[in-house]
Amino acid sequence: MELHRVVVTGLGALTPVGNSAKETWENLKNGVSGAGPITHFDHTKFKTHFACEVKNFNATDYMDRKLARKMDLYAQYAIAAAAEAVKDSGMDLETVDKDEIGVILGVGIGGIHTFESEVAYYAQHEEDGPKYSPFFIPKMIGDIAAGQIAINYGFHGPNYITTSACASSTNALADAFNLLRLGKANAILTGGAEAGVWPAGVGGFNAMHALSTRNDDPEHASRPFSASRDGFVMGEGAGCMMLETLEHALARGARIYCEVAGVGMSADAYHITASHPEGLGARLVMERALKDAGMKPEEVDYINVHGTSTPVGDISEVKAVKDLFGEHAYKLNISSTKSMTGHLLGAAGAVEAMACVMAVVEDIVPPTINHEEGDEDPEIDYNLNFTFNKAQKRIVRVALSNTFGFGGHNACCIVKKYE
């Protein structure tokens, strides 16, 4: 069976460093941190007082007020990113066959704010009996973002979400890619969204000792691969990409950013939250993505690593890269854009895949910020090029993006220059 080639034709983003794909990419190249004091709730009694929040977001810029009230913030973010990606694709919605266009998103937590507020309201009025909003369930459930986007545009193709913690949106991208190359649709809007910066989210991760507590210096708290890293910085937002079969894109004269070359998936099968200490699952997922793409390790120019700024995770991923790529590992550029965006959880893979797309388009590798001289971890090999603190120009023909999630879920995608 001949497989279809799959290309990227539209980008949309709403992140802690930009309210569009273009603004996000410019700030990633320039090493801008999105971290600051939490504004969504009173953080004073929490261990962590900061996060990477989306700034100056107004839902009514993307939908009417009545609809916005029926949607959790994560779904509002998804609608915003989707709107930009659809517009950026240049797709004429009056002429395309909407029966052949799908929506597949990754969501890690979903409507946590809705769940938290509704349960809290019931607890305060328990003596009067249940008093839940009729929109409680449709606002809370994770799949509703994909459903709302399909309703908005009339897309009748495959429609669902993937949930694999922080690997969710890379899994969504992988599913979209596989369905397209099998000819199950002409185009699929894919990506992810998350809005977990709420008391339950921050408090839950604090209880696990997963978050940084560098409260006196939030902008420098996310510092992957540095010895003083003390946990990840929570982020929020959304990223969407329009993927199309090459035939469909060419037939409508679309502008093509790059080609999706391959995807990989694996499981650590080791621990509910910790990565395998030797990076076995991480190595396997990259190996599978390369095999799927028909590529050799030495063809990769740039890896956007999972790189969360956690003590164990950063080390295991470095081990995986060195083990798989061998001597070529020292010719790669490696960077963690989480040093700027924070960890967008279920949306992380989508935003980081977009960074890989733009690295391929512009031949620029965004940096890993916040590394200081003298802050070296003896377990990390600094002969590797972590692209510390400043973007680097180089030819990027092939870029690889890693995302790993609680439960041992690993997902990887590879993009390459379109030829």
CB atoms within 10 A of CB 393: 9
Alpha-helix residue ranges (DSSP H) falling in 254-383? 280-293, 311-325, 338-341, 348-362
Query: Catalytic residue at 343?
Result: yes
Beta-carbon count within 10 A of 138 CB: 18
Catalytic residue among 166, 240, 258, 413: 166
User: Quick check: is 125 catalytic?
Assistant: no
Token pair belonging to 158: 């495959």
308: part of which helix (H) or strand (E)? Answer: none
Annotated active-site residue 240? The verdict is no
Determine contact, residues 258/418, Cβ cutoff 8 Å.
yes
Residue 98, phi then psi, degrees to nearest 5: -70, -20
- Of 220, 276, 306, 371, the catalytic one is 306
Q: Bridge partners of 13?
A: 239
Find the catalytic residue in 343, 356, 371, 409. 343
Dump the DSSP string for 205-256: HHHTT-B---TT-GGG---TT-TT--SB-BB-EEEEEEEEEHHHHHHTT---
First to last CA, the chain: 22
* CB atoms near residue 298 (< 10 Å): 13
What residues are labeled active site? 166, 306, 343
